[in-house]
Every structure is written in structure tokens, then in C-alpha cells.
Amino acid sequence: MTTAACAVTLALVPAHHTVAASARTPDKQPVAIGTGGAVASLDPYATESGLEILRAGGNAVDAAVAVAATLGVVRPYDGSIGGGGFMVLRDGSTGKITTINSRETAGSQVTPEHFLDPATGEPLSFTEARRSGLSVGVPGTVAGWQLALGKYGTMNLAEVMDPATMIAKRGFVVDAEYQARTQDNFSYLNAFTSSQDTWLIDGAAPKEGTVFRNPDIARTYELIARDGADAFYKGPLAKAIADAVTNPPVSGTSPTEVRPGKMTTEDLASYRATELAPTHSDYNGYDIYGMAGPSSGGTTVGEILNILEPTDLSGLSEEEILHKIIEASALAFADREAYLGDPDYESVPYKGLISDEYAAERQALITDAASAKPVASGNPWPYDGGAGVGLDLAANSPAGGQTTHLTVADNQGNIVSYTFTIEGIAGSGITVPGYGFLLNNELTDFSFDPKHPANAPAGGKRSRSSMSPTIVLKDGEPYVALGTPGGSRIITTVLQLLVNHLELGMPLPEAIAAPRISQRNTTSTELEPPLYNSPTVDALRARGQKVSQNVVMNNATGVSFLPDGTMLAAAEPERYHGGAAGVVRPTGAQY
């Protein structure tokens, strides 16, 4: 790795041990304006890796994979090669918007009864299901990287993974967020011998200010760099993944039974990432491109925007705007639960859900008073050219899964908005022994109750996701790209970022920093403290809205394209200790 800011000086120490930090971390700032390319992520090491690739002549796709690989080292509990994700990208040479689907799949032996307790016939608790091999889907991240690079990149896996590999070898300075995530998920990590060996230092979380090394992930990255995705999906590594799922390396300290999962080496060898057409909706002259199934993000964000579009939000008070958002979100989430699943297994009325005609039908249900929630789903099928059935499903997985998001743009018009994950923070808690990465708990995004077939488990099926990477064009030209982690709150956060930036005129950094709400067709709407403790909450209650306080929501990143031809990269200023934004050639301008 050539970037001096990421170099650290270390004495020789045993694998995974830490020493006191003696070198500075890369610069960390939430906003950067300039030219030549822009990167925004949750971590300064990752942002610097992306900038390094751009400076070396790589494009936005090359840089995005470099950022993602580095996040797998320095933010391993959020997203890594043990999981999957969704990438929305713009090809600068053609202007085409496309998407890469690297969502995890269920093993071929998985059935709709996957999460039922054999002894009782009842669904397992979420915690017991998660801390087990049952929760692990076939990872898709590496296949997604290879597909994106092969079709739209200019560098190979070896080149773009090199910055992350060097950081894994040399080490990185542990920050407060890394220490907190380790401590908060100690019970998951401590339940498996391989995770104890990889992530814990003398049985505890690494301390802020020390340097942490992960030579196992470095060797894994070198293997993938040398042999491509086949190194992950075939051979010894694939066998190690399948073995960890079917025979988890338990330590004997788990507070719940650790159940074996269902995955074979054939499941890994047959995995394929796919390229899909994006969702597209028009909002007040902006073209909004998002992710289609098995993500529910593009359709649900699009439906909410379509419901809101007839209203001039810029002329309303804060309380009136939030009331409209709450009501529109509840209606769209009711439809999400009823209709969204893996389109390879279920019929999904995509066209109907984001049609203006259906939005008008749903918008007509909104009054000045709060609706009783949860609300019922509607029927988009007449606007989709056919007849179908909505199932009015109950939400299954908790809202708080973490995930990670990055946004990259280059000076050739290539843009990447990429959200990837291992689902919960630390995923299943299972580390592949000797390979240095955690396995996902993505199958818990399926409905545990087999009576809900649209999102019920099945062999080879992908579970419904909320990930909502987004690219926005205006008059055919790039305007903004953004996204966020955060479970099902991803959708409500992306929605508010777009409303704040496109409708209310906030610069992207202000749109990201603004306090948020989340209504997902539940009895109460969550508010962050600045809103919950403001007079606005009294006005919402006067309308009949039920509200509750949520401490913090998500950590978004984005890139906006300014009228003077410069790019503005923006990350969280404070949430989760903030993110990191950078540009290739800073101009020193202020937004």
C-alpha cells in the first residue's frame, strides 16, 4: 500500500494481538469538496483505500471494491466477504444505470420450516436462530465484486484488494466504535472458538488506541486475489465455510443452543451474482434509481415518494411534513410486507407498486389525523397488468441490523452506491476458522412462519432485504448518490435524505445530519432525540400520532454533484462516531 496515511509501525506480535498505536490514522472528515473523484464511507481507512485506487487510475467500480474490502478489515462486524449486498452503478461511458445483486442464498436443503423448533413446532426466537448455523446464507460478496469488476471496472481483484490486505497485515488503530461493537456483541463472538481467537484479546474487546492485526483475512484476500472468486466458492475455503455452518465451532459459552445449519460445498460452487435492471421512479423531475428484488428498497422508497409527490412539502411546517411522511411510510410498508420477496420464487407487482395511479389510490387514504396502525395493504395488481394476492404479512426481523454503505464517483461519470452486510452486527457470530471473517445471519430476514410464503425460506432463495442504494439523475445527469445501513430503517432514512435534499433544498451534509424518524407500519413512530424533545412532537401527538424515542438511526454516506463540476462527498458527522469523506483533488471550498 502506497498511502503514507495508512501506514503503521509495529513490533512483531502474535497474530490478532494488539500493541499501543504509534502512528496516526488517516484523516477523518465528514465533508470534502473537489475534483478527480469522491469517496464516502463509514471509516477513514476505507475511504483512503478508495482514493488510492482513484489516484492510481482506477474508476469508481474499482475504488468501490477497494473500499468494501477495507471495510471488511476495519469494520468487519458490519459487512465483509462472509455476507452479501446490492450495488447500484452508473456506467460513465454509456450513462446506463444497472445493479449487481450479490444477496446471499439459502442452502439447497433449506425448507419453509427452517426456523421451526422440531420439538415444539413453533418458530425459534430470533436470538437463538441468529446464533447458529441455521442463520447463515451462502455469501455473495466476492462473486459480486468479480462480476462488477469484470463488466465495469478497469482493475482486477488483486489490484483493488491490495490496500485492504496491507492494512490487515500491518494493522489499524482501533477506534471507539470498533471497541464498542466488539463489546456489544461479545456474547456472539465468545460463543465460538474461532471468533474468540480472531476478535478477542485475552478474552476481551481490543482497546481503543491499540493496533489490531488480522493476518488470517490477509491470507484469505491474497488467496482470492491470486485465484479469483473460485478460491472462495470452491476448494478448501468453500469446505471450511460449509463445515462452519453445519458443525459450528462452539466454545460452550453460548446462552442459547447453537444449532447446525444446512449448506454444502455444492451450494457454494453454484452461487452466482446477477446483474439486474434497477427500479426507476420519477419524483418532481428527478429520476430515482434503486434496487429491485430481492431488495424491497427501490420499490418501497419509490412508492413513498410517489405518495408524497402531489404535496408541496417545501411549503409545510416540520410537523406537517413529518405527518405526511409517517402516513405514506406506513402505507408503503404495509405493501412491502404483503408483496415483496425473491422475484425468482414469487410474483412481485413491481410496476404496480411504483405506479402513479396506485400511489394516488394510497395517497387518498391520508387525512389530517393519524391513521390507526398497522394499516392494511392495498392491491397494486390492477396497475401491474394482472391479478394477484397480497398476504398482509407480519414483519419478521428486528429493525436494527447494521450493515455498511459506501458511495464512490470518478471523473468519468462512473458512480457506485453500494450497500453490503452480514446482517446483524457480527452476523451469526461464527468466524470461518483460519480465514479471519465472520459469516452472516442473513437467513433470519426470511419469515420464520412458513404460512407467509412470499418471504418464507426455500432452497436457493434470497430473503427480502431493505437495502436501498440509490442514484438520482436530473435532466439525465448525475445529481446525487447515497445510501445507508440500518435494517428496515434503511428505507425510511433514504426516503428522508431524498426529501431533505431534493424537496427541501438542504445541502447533502445537512440532509444527512438532520434528525430522523422511522415509521414501518408499526403502532409507534420512532424519533431521534432532537425531534422527540422538540415542540414538534406535541403537534404530532395532537394529530393522534404515537411516538417513541430512538437514540440514533443509521450512518449514511453520499456524493452530490455540484453545478460548478465539483463533487461533494458527505458522511455522518456524529452518528456512530461519524464517517469519512474524501476527494482526489480538494478545492478547499465550503458547502
Catalytic residues: 403
Q: How far apart are CA 252 and CA 58, in angstroms?
A: 47
Count CB atoms within 10 A of the CB of residue 201. 15
The CA-CA-CA angle for residues 33, 37, 43, to 5°, reads 75
Q: Provide the CB-side half-sphere exposure for 120 (13 A, CA).
A: 7
Our CA dihedral for 494, 39, 143, 166, rounded to 10 degrees, sits at -140
From the list 148, 236, 222, the residue with the least C-alpha distance to 416 is: 148
How far is 483 from 485, CA to CA, in rounded Å? 7
Q: C-alpha distances in angstroms, 114 versus 133, 266, 339?
A: 11, 19, 21
Q: What are phi and psi of 486, to 5 degrees?
A: 125, 30
Q: Is the Cβ–Cβ distance between 550 and 526 less than 8 Å? A: yes
**195: amino acid identity, one letter:** S
C-alpha cell of 50? Answer: 478508495
Q: Which helix (H) or strand (E) holds 305?
A: helix 297-308
Q: Is the dihedral of CA 304, 309, 310, 313 positive or negative?
A: positive
CA dist., res. 281 & res. 357, Å (int): 13
Output the nine-digit C-alpha cell for 532. 422527540
CA–CA separation, 212 and 174 (whole Å)? 7
Answer for the pair 493, 486: CB distance below 8 angstroms, yes or no. yes
